[in-house]
Amino acid sequence: MSEDIKAKSLNIENLVDYQKDTVVSREVIKKELGTVTFFAFDKGQGLSEHSAPFDAMVQVIDGEAEITISGNKNIVKKGEMIIMPANEPHALQAVNMPYKMILTMIKSD
């Protein structure tokens, strides 16, 4: 994590900026038991289906995301969150508009 953001009040929407035709990420906490990462997805961008050995909570802080978990599609909007269970396949996509999110991953037993 950048030392310059510790112990400071920050606007979470400004911690990562949109960039045309890409996904931008900024890891702000990295510990053995988990991570917190900010993402910005331009419209049409996403992460293809994969799984992770962590429970993962996505909090959408701007826009709207399509998040598919084990084949079930969910629309998650600004101010909403969803938990992706460990070891279940999931994918994330900016279908209708760009979006920003916070991804908090916690190692499972």
pTM of the model: 0.91
Parse the chain into domains and list their residue ranges.
3-107
State pLDDT tens for residues 41-95.
999 999 999 998 889 999 999 999 999 999 999 999 999 999 999 999 999 999 9
Decide: 38 and 12 in contact? Cβ < 8 Å.
yes
Domain range 3-107, CATH architecture? Sandwich (2.60)
Q: Per the structure block, which two tokens stand in for 97? A: 């508009």
Candidates 76, 103, 107, 71; CA nearest to 89 is 71
Q: Is the pLDDT of residue 99 over 70?
A: yes
Q: At residue 45, what are phi and psi to the nearest 5 degrees?
A: -95, 160
Higher pLDDT, 106 or 90: 90
